[in-house]
Amino acid sequence: MICIIGGGPSGNYAASLLAKKHKVIVIEEHNKIGLPVQCTGIVTQNILNYCKPVVINKISNVILHSPNRSLRLKLKTPNLILDRARLDSMLADTAKKAGARYLLGTKVEKISRSKSSFIVKTSKASFRPAIVIGADGPLSTTAKALSLYKSKSHFITKQHVLNCKNENIVEFFFFEKGFGWIVPESRTKIRAGVATLDNPNQLFEQLQSKARLAGKPIAVQGGLIPIFAWKGKRAQNRAYLIGDAAGFVKATTGGGLVQAL
């Protein structure tokens, strides 16, 4: 048996592949796959084959804002804006069709090694898988329990979904203590967010002022982005880390979807 801890994009995609030939159990602490949303969902077309049904917008223009000037760029190939919750759900459905079993609303309490397997104790049951895959994010329980790679630094993010008319242009803002973004879901709705090592609320106020954002948010989202470090093991004796748990994110934007798939 293979136990995958975490039902995000990396865990679901791994489950969809492994379940074709192995018994796979995916343990997810939240009650619904894809929620809460903790990702902006902008990707290149490198993964179009994996996410085509959940593309909600395409972007061909980007504006970079420094404190003193702005630079407009035209992309040769449009970036894709995804429905993040639907992406996770779609990948999980594919894994289930391949034979993976999902345990939702289930928290992993302890992971330990035995002679030829692992003991995974959860809030609902215990399992003895031969292989454990940690896809449980930047604060990975798997990594901590099995002394694998641990990201020591994280960006803290805050994002609002807002009703806002726009020109369908992605904008990036560079601040002293982090960066911000505006990503259009459509011509009338945007995702506006920030990432920082400091206080995300203070930085978001700077973004609101700089981009002249107003209105009550439809949704408030946020999470952690691991900062990659070379030191640490991502695999050891049938235990593996993938996705954010392994620190596999882009150094430029912190995005991890392409690496997850």
Question: What is the CATH code of the structural domain delimited by 2-260?
Answer: 3.50.50.60
The predicted pLDDT at position 258 comes to 84
Q: Are 202 and 179 in contact (CB under 8 A)?
A: no
pLDDT tens digits, residue range 111-131? 999 888 999 999 999 999 999
The predicted pLDDT at position 237 comes to 92
Residue 70's pLDDT band, with cuts at 50, 70 and 90, is very high
Nearest to 27 by CA among 91, 116, 120: 120
Whole-prediction pTM value?
0.92
pLDDT tens digits, residue range 208-244? 999 999 889 999 999 999 988 777 899 999 999 999 9
The predicted pLDDT at position 108 comes to 97
The predicted pLDDT at position 150 comes to 80
pLDDT tens digits, residue range 160-198? 999 999 999 999 999 999 999 999 999 999 999 999 999
Q: Which of 33-42, 71-80, 221-230 has the least mean pLDDT?
A: 221-230
Nearest to 11 by CA among 31, 30, 26: 26
Pairwise pLDDT comparison (25 vs 50), residue with the higher score:
25
**Angstrom distance (rounded) from CA 243 to CA 13:** 10
Q: What percent of the chain has pLDDT over 90?
A: 85
Alpha helices in 139-180 (DSSP H): 141-145
Q: What percent of the chain has pLDDT over 70?
A: 100
> With 0-12 CB in 10 A as exposed, 13-18 as middle and 19+ as buried, what is 56?
middle
Which residue shows structure tokens 């639907």? 86
**Per the structure block, which two tokens stand in for 26?**
């995916």
